[in-house]
Amino acid sequence: MYNRNRANRGENRVIRFKCTLQNTIADVLRSRGWQEVKEESGDWDFYWADVGWMREVFDHCYMEEHMRLNHFRNHYELTRKNLMAKNLKRLRKQIERDSSKIEAAKCDFFPTTFELPADYHIFVEEFKRSPNSTWIMKPIAKSQGKGIFLFRKLKDIMEWKKEDSWKIDGTKDDREPVENYVVQRYIDNPYLIGGRKFDIRCYVLVTSYIPLKVWLYRSGFGRMSNTRYSLDSIEDTFVHLTNVAIQKTAPDYDPEKGCKWSLIQLRMYLLAKHGPEAVETLFRGMDDIFIKSLQSTQKIMINDKHCFELYGYDILIDETLKPWLLEINASPSLTASNQQDYDLKFKLLHDVLSVIDMEGKLSGKEKRVGGFDLMWNDGACPL
């Protein structure tokens, strides 16, 4: 049986793990010399579970003091697109009420967002106020670019709506209810590199919500589009969606070259173009997005000392170097697209396990573990 006191004395013992994924994380867990438990009823110390397991099993699972799990119970409050927008809007209103509109304006880092079908009438009013805008539709619970499309005319929504079963007056026919979507004002002035759109994937590890304790990973990557950016072809997903799952299906995609820049490469490029002050402001703005988004769910997240969460943040930079939060992933892809991607994700996950510290090697006062920097510990930590 696992014994943390033994770990603190540095005595050797085997940590038993379960893992529902057979990709990079399974390789990392085995590389640490931990013992894999494959039996359904087998005892475990550490579980890397998928969100389905959390939904179906977590509430019926007794966990001993030392056991650790890679999701919080209601992680979806931050990672479902509609709930993320709802919680961020609530935070902005709270800051405006408690402080000022100027302070609340610091929360304007996500696009104007509505949920359909619930907000259809409100959305139509906003749409008519800016008739030449481009909008983007996203299913609230899908990832990897599935089901996303851009539009400029309401009739495009009407065509989409006919394929589903909701009506403007709220009545339904006998078919299954429609899948909920969010509709967002499309950020149509993205920063371009070589004429191509990109977004940035950053990794943020939360080990506690009360108090809030947040670690930021120094490595990340920019995901590049394979096709030059243009608003003349809003139906072309290779132009507008940077998801690797989309881009790798492009006819001229090179799997070895990939479509990613490391965060260091990206930062160096921006420094050369814009200088240190502008780039420092940009990255401080990204840090602010990470913390404010987590604070937006801090009071409603079910904090559990057994749980932690590795979030994958997707950030878009516009042509003014303003960062925008696109979405947050509770299950960022751990499947590598090439060797360089595998190496990054292997080290990332190895460092996650080092922060979680099942072996009891840390003092608890560390500000840096592997590639992670402690950025918030019930207050800001200097990076």
241-276 as b/e: b if 16+ CB within 10 A = bbbbebbeeeeebeeeebbbbebeebbeebeeeeee
d(CA 92, CA 105): 8
pLDDT band at 332 (very low <50, low <70, confident <90, very high): confident
Looking at the DSSP assignment, which residues form a beta bridge with residue 152?
none
Apex CA 310: angle with CA 96 and CA 2, to 5°?
130
* Residue 219, amino acid: S
Res 302: pLDDT: 92
- The answer to which of 68-82, 84-98, 201-215, 243-257 has the lowest mean pLDDT is 243-257
Q: Which residues contact 14 (CB under 8 A, 6 or more apart)?
A: 33, 34, 35
pLDDT at residue 353 greater than cutoff 60: yes
Taking only the tens place, the pLDDT of each residue in 310-323 is: 999 999 999 999 99
Taking only the tens place, the pLDDT of each residue in 264-290 is: 999 999 999 999 999 999 999 999 999
48 with 18: CB under 8 angstroms?
A: yes
pTM above 0.75, yes or no: yes
30 with 341: CB under 8 angstroms?
A: no
Higher pLDDT, 288 or 256: 288
Higher pLDDT, 241 or 343: 343
178 with 166: CB under 8 angstroms?
A: yes
Q: To the nearest whole number, what is the mean pLDDT of the chain?
A: 87
